[in-house]
Amino acid sequence: MNTTARQPLLWDIFCQVIDNHGDVGVCWRLARELAARGHAVRLWLDDLRALPWLAPGAWSGAFERIRVLPWPRSAQALAQLPLADVWVEAFGCELPAAFVARFAAEQAMPQPVWINLEYLSAEDWVERMHALPSPVLAGPLAGRRKWFFYPGFTPAAGGLLREGDWPARQARFDRTAWLAAHGVRWQGEPLASLFCYEPPALPALLEQCAASGWHWLVTPGRATQAVQAALPLLRSASAHTTPRITFLPHLPQPAYDELLWACDFNGVRGEDSLTRALWAGRPFVWHIYPQHDGAHHAKLAAFLRWLQAPASLAAFHAAWNDAPGAPALLAPGQGALREWQACVQAARQRLMRQADLASQLIHFIHQKQSETST
């Protein structure tokens, strides 16, 4: 898919932050990848607190062609703002009222291509919904049209974010040097990263893996809190069964990728880190964002079907996500880890044969612009 032959575009990406790691993480990765391809991006956030650690220098303008802006509150403050080529509402957020007020009467042509960038899922309906129009029926922008754009795992969906330099970066990665630089004392023991919510099976996993000498590298925030709450619940505190744990500081996105590369097993959560775990090609377990109605279990099952997960990996996911009827969690041995890694790497190869999310978005925008101009 050729996305470089046309003129660069100006993008407005809007993100209302629910999860500083996930929502902001996806939007920042998209902004970085668009900028790397010569496009200009205005990234609008209603919460800027994650940027100092997730993307140092982003707020101060250190990244060429990316401008980070606070959520607009006044149409007057936007008076000199040029009209973009693309509007992206990330994860179902709506355009800010002040932004709508500024541009509702704008008659410049062509009008921005308006994208509703949705959540990632492997469920069957994603392919049916992807790239469908959504007419705007009310409000100052009534009569215009949005387009649903669904990231996904199959050629009929919108793809996954993937940087052009990712394979080369991973190929030259030096695990020993990285661990030393980040203060991890490593003596060749199995390494596992942990980024999760509060899985009920966490105490069982820590206890089982302690006997095998696993060394846990735990991300800050909810994962650290979950581990600290789990430790007193372990049934044994002998020297042979006490888990070895390093609590990490917040890592910028490139360093988080490197953490996944450094580990023999990764616990990830949400959507951004799931994608990164797939590109890392290491065995992993996904802690899917829990929903009160249990809908996340169907979403998890769809992903495991696409992944072609072996029975042991599916059972581990069910236990980790507290699925109804799940078996007791059983920590993987070396044979299971090898099987899981083969599964993940086969999935990565399937994904590498598909166009990435940024490429598909750019192609889609140019297509819609061409349709409007004819």
Residue 211: its pLDDT value, please?
A: 85
- 304: Cβ–Cβ under 8 A, 6 or more apart, which residues? 313, 314, 317
Residue 60: its pLDDT value, please?
A: 86
- Phi then psi for residue 125, to 5 deg, are -65, -15
Residue 3: its pLDDT value, please?
A: 44
Mean pLDDT (the chain) is: 94
- Work out the percent of the chain whose per-residue pLDDT is above 90: 86
Residue 4: its pLDDT value, please?
A: 43
Catalytic residue among 12, 118, 258, 271: 271
Instruction: Summarize pLDDT for 136-171 with one digit per residue, the tens.
Output: 999 999 999 999 999 999 999 999 999 999 999 999
Check if the beta carbon of residue 124 is closer than 8 Å to that of residue 321. Answer: no
Per mean pLDDT, which range of 43-57, 172-186, 306-320, 345-359 is the poorest? 43-57
Task: Name the band, by pLDDT with cuts 50, 70 and 90, for residue 2.
Answer: very low
Per mean pLDDT, which range of 59-63, 179-183, 244-248, 333-337 is the poorest? 59-63
Q: Is the peptide bond before 110 cis (omega within 30 degrees of 0)?
A: yes
- Work out the percent of the chain whose per-residue pLDDT is above 70: 97
Q: Is residue 118 annotated as part of the catalytic site, yes or no? A: no
Q: Is residue 189 annotated as part of the catalytic site, yes or no? A: no
Beta strands 145-149; 113-117: pairing state: parallel
Catalytic residue among 12, 23, 118, 258: 23
Structural domains of the chain, ranges and CATH numbers in brackets: 10-159+355-373 (3.40.50), 166-352 (3.40.50.2000)
Instruction: Summarize pLDDT for 11-47 with one digit per residue, the tens.
Output: 999 999 887 688 999 999 999 999 999 999 999 999 9
pLDDT of residue 238 exceeding 70 = no
Task: Name the band, by pLDDT with cuts 50, 70 and 90, for residue 235.
Answer: confident
**Cα–Cα distance for residue pair 151/19, rounded to 1 Å:** 18
Residue 341: its pLDDT value, please?
A: 98
pLDDT of residue 222 exceeding 90 = yes
- pTM given for the model: 0.95
The string of DSSP codes covering 76-116 is GGGTTPPPPSEEEEETT----HHHHHHHTT---SSPPEEEE
pLDDT of residue 372 exceeding 90 = no
